[in-house]
Structure 1
Amino acid sequence: MPIKIAIIGAGLIGPRHAKSVINNPDTELIALVDPMPTGIQTASDLGTNYYPSVSALLSSPHRPDAAIVCTPNQTHVPITKELLSGNVHVLLEKPISNTIETGHSLLSLASSPEYAHLKLLVGHHRRFNPYVRATKSILENGSLGRTIAVNGLWTLYKPDSYFAGNGDWRTSSARGGGVIPINLVHDIDLMHHFFGPITRVHAEGILPQRENPTHDADEGAALTLRFASGVVGSFVVCDATPSSHNFEMGTGENPMIPKVENGSDFYRIFGSAGSLSVPDLTRWSYDNSGEKSWSSPLTVDQIEIPDNAAPFDLQLAHFVDVVRGDAVPSCSGEEGLRALIVCEAVQRAMRTGQPVEIDVDLLAGSKK
């Protein structure tokens, strides 16, 4: 039988998840939940049932087997707890929470004996992007040698409309807004996915560009990173500059953001045997030279993408496997919280001007 799935939140991401659910033969879109009046029309457009709250959904004839939570960051934990308490599996959009404390409380609940049979997957969907999977494969096959360093960019321009109306929470750091928890958290998760846990960060905030006094959310920073593996990195993140150096424009993943053809890279990975730029997947080495030397010509390899399946679709298929017990979560609640911990450390480094150490065992109190 198809898994009955409810979408919680009808904002930017909810309808995209809903379409994946509709298109997957193993899932059925059973309901859409959103407190705003516009949610009724969105549910109608999607051909599904509408409820104004999770409690109304859980007491209805359309109880789901699983739910995808796509609500503002500060609501992630209470909504997910309510769903788990209602015996519903959860795919929770990143970040796992807007605070480390509430994130820990969610993991504590999810790992308790009465809820241990339920599955919690954090929606860091980029792990399923074909460019990411290809990069992970290259790192694992050893063709770059030992990884030495990484340089990353996430830079683009968000218009005023992004912060208006139902999105006004994005203007406030206190309500979970800002480029660090909304956008950088994706890249932090991928850095963990590629290189293991980050143990130290330093960050310098950019000069604010949005002078509206009601807008206090962070707009960007320049970071330095140290990983437990010994890899070092640098990263620039900014949502207030016209730029093509970002994941969305490089991969074409988000249909709302135009892809840059023959586009700009956003990651550069440097190893002892070669280097790699992403997403063009160009590998540079001295494989065909007699001597590994700066005076020898470099060998250039263009690595092909094996497929171009939509990450949201692949993530949903994985969620189905997780719910059915055929797979473990690609990004567990613990890994979701680890990315949030690093983002909080970045914000603390921006405030204090000092490097922040991150204990790799910080999650030891949370059961997997």
Structure 2
Amino acid sequence: MCGPVRRLRRERPSVASSIAGRAEIAHPHQPNPARGGTSGGGTPGRSPGEVAGGVRGQRGEAVSRGPGRAPTRRSRTSDAAGKGRDREKERGTHMRIGLIGAGRIGSFHATALAADDSVDDLLITDTDPPRAAGLATRLSARTTTLDTLLRTADAVVITTPTATHAELITRAAAAGLPAFCEKPVALGPRRTREALRAVEEAGTLLQLGFQRRFDPGFRAAREAVRAGRLGRVHTIRAVTSDAAPPPADFLPLSGGLIRDCLVHDFDTVRWLTGREVTEVYARGSAGGAAFFREAGDMDTAAALLTLDDGTLVTATATRYNGAGYDVRMELSGERDQWVAGLGERTPTTSAEPGGPGAPERPWADFLERFEIAYRAELAHFLRAARGEAANPCSGREGLAALLVAEACEVSRRENRPVRVDPLGR
């Protein structure tokens, strides 16, 4: 059972200081073994007009929108919805957030939530209660059961293993809760659509975690492309490289290199350019550890994408980049060329005489590289959950990126170009 409500301290640790040095954070794609854990469309690149229906009351009232907003469809009773509306004025911006999953990315998000002034009460649940309790103690949060969390929270953040996402999204929708979920919704289109249908029928908010949309460099590149500063963009080169491979037991849970890593590039290309992918050709190799081949996965992959305006995109990913964690996107246009992700910590060495050498502190993993982006997307979710901002990345955006990944898998297996059907027929 939940203990008495305790307000979170105003002086809170930063995400980086809380996460640094923890022994359980061993790898950027470390899965949380079978018990709570981590996960490591509409018009592309536009915020769908989906706005959250406000938050539920601090004591578990149903969701209602603020003054002037249309009522949101809920699975709650009308009496409960009325109570939520009655308490809207009392609530203000103070929220009770439920975090489901206390693994690596869950711990990261929990620290960010604890540092947000609009979060008055943080509830944590995990199938490993001691792990949840340890995290709650560090953050002056509270532990609870999943059922209680879904009954009493104002909004939920889902950071459990991928195989659990669709069910938890569906349960959050049935409870009338705005939800943030790490990508993907599910590893296949059918289960993804089922979960999205539940969200749409409930009329609730689902924000999917594609954090590159909140990275300052990627956002600046998007603005430059949309403003026409590059002229006609004819070529895009995307790079996603892990510094070291994940544990062998992660691979069967990941969906494979394309669905796990390159799906980020597919989403970013759509969001950044506003274009759709029409055709793909993909290849992969597994020359590293034997466990990749045993899992039927790859440690390196490359895809050639054709966009609907003829722009050509190359996207590569690898689990073996000993120089460090590297995520970049080069955009070449008739007028100019921009690069997102190129900075003093980018793990590259110039071969030119007098050129820059290897960085002293290359990026180690995705949490370090994208800390600012992760915090920004979560802060945006809290605003969206209060009805103050539009949804920046709906589940339909995630489905669109997944369909590109699915086409790449077909291309890789059959060694041929594959057309991308945006409807996934």
**TM-score (norm. length: structure 2):** 0.67
CA separation in 2, counterparts of 1:275 and 1:18? Answer: 38
1:86 counterpart = 2:165: no
- Report what 2:117 is aligned to: 25
Q: Equivalent of 1:319, from 364, 377, 381?
A: 381
1:157 is displaced (CA, Å) by 3.0
Amino acid at match of 1:99: G
1:69 is displaced (CA, Å) by 0.6
1:203 counterpart = 2:296: no
1:147 counterpart = 2:233: yes
1:184 counterpart = 2:265: no
Q: What do residues 79-103 of structure 1 show as CA deviations (whole Å, max 9, x unaligned)?
A: 1111211222100111121111011
Amino acid at match of 2:267: D
Q: Equivalent of 1:354, from 401, 406, 416?
A: 416
- Report what 1:156 is aligned to: 242
1:313 is displaced (CA, Å) by 2.3
Find the residue that maps to 2:270 and give its secondary structure.
helix
1:214 is displaced (CA, Å) by 5.3
1:44 counterpart = 2:130: no
Find the residue that maps to 1:153 and give its secondary structure.
strand
Amino acid at match of 1:41: G
Find the residue that maps to 1:39 and give its secondary structure.
helix
RMSD, aligned α-carbons = 2.2
Map 1:68-79 onto structure 2 (within 5 A).
Answer: 68-79=157-168
The 3 A distance-change label for structure 1 pair 347 and 243 is farther
Find the residue that maps to 1:87 and give its secondary structure.
coil
The 3 A distance-change label for structure 1 pair 15 and 28 is farther
| Percent of aligned pairs sharing the same letter | 26
Find the residue that maps to 2:266 and give its secondary structure.
helix
CA separation in 1, counterparts of 2:146 and 2:278? Answer: 38
CA separation in 1, counterparts of 2:146 and 2:297? Answer: 29
Amino acid at match of 1:57: L
CA separation in 2, counterparts of 1:216 and 1:14? Answer: 28
1:58 is displaced (CA, Å) by 3.1
1:123 counterpart = 2:209: yes
CA separation in 2, counterparts of 1:11 and 1:218? Answer: 25
1:147 is displaced (CA, Å) by 0.8
| Aligned residue pairs, count | 304
Amino acid at match of 2:135: T
- Report what 1:66 is aligned to: 155
CA separation in 2, counterparts of 1:29 and 1:185? Answer: 34
- Report what 2:55 is aligned to: none
CA separation in 2, counterparts of 1:157 and 1:49? Answer: 35
Amino acid at match of 1:5: I
Higher strand share: 1
- Report what 1:332 is aligned to: 394
1:100 counterpart = 2:189: yes
Q: Equivalent of 1:345, from 407, 410, 416?
A: 407
- Report what 2:57 is aligned to: none
CA separation in 2, counterparts of 1:25 and 1:76? Answer: 27
- Report what 2:70 is aligned to: none
Q: What do residues 181-239 of structure 1 show as CA deviations (whole Å, max 9, x unaligned)?
A: 22222221111111222111111112341213754433221110011122111121111
Gaps of 5+ in 2: 1-91, 344-369
1:273 counterpart = 2:335: yes
1:109 is displaced (CA, Å) by 1.0
- Asked whether the equivalents of residues 403 and 422 of structure 2 are also in contact (C-alpha less than 8 Å), the reply is no
CA separation in 2, counterparts of 1:201 and 1:163? Answer: 29
- Report what 2:356 is aligned to: none
The 3 A distance-change label for structure 1 pair 338 and 28 is farther
1:237 counterpart = 2:317: yes
Q: What do residues 137-185 of structure 1 show as CA deviations (whole Å, max 9, x unaligned)?
A: 11112111011110111123324xx427xxx3x221xx33432222222
1:42 is displaced (CA, Å) by 2.1
1:39 is displaced (CA, Å) by 2.6
- Report what 2:46 is aligned to: none
Find the residue that maps to 1:318 and give its secondary structure.
helix
CA separation in 2, counterparts of 1:40 and 1:183? Answer: 31
- Asked whether the equivalents of residues 180 and 220 of structure 1 are also in contact (C-alpha less than 8 Å), the reply is no
Q: What do residues 239-272 of structure 1 show as CA deviations (whole Å, max 9, x unaligned)?
A: 123244722xxxxxxxxxxxxxxxxxx2211111
Find the residue that maps to 1:154 and give its secondary structure.
strand
Amino acid at match of 1:188: F
CA separation in 1, counterparts of 2:138 and 2:283? Answer: 44
- Asked whether the equivalents of residues 125 and 315 of structure 1 are also in contact (C-alpha less than 8 Å), the reply is yes
CA separation in 2, counterparts of 1:5 and 1:46? Answer: 13
Q: What do residues 46-91 of structure 1 show as CA deviations (whole Å, max 9, x unaligned)?
A: 222223x5224335xxx11101111111111001111211222100
Query: Which is worse superposed, 133-142 or 317-326?
Result: 317-326
- Asked whether the equivalents of residues 155 and 243 of structure 1 are also in contact (C-alpha less than 8 Å), the reply is no
Amino acid at match of 1:233: V
Amino acid at match of 2:165: H
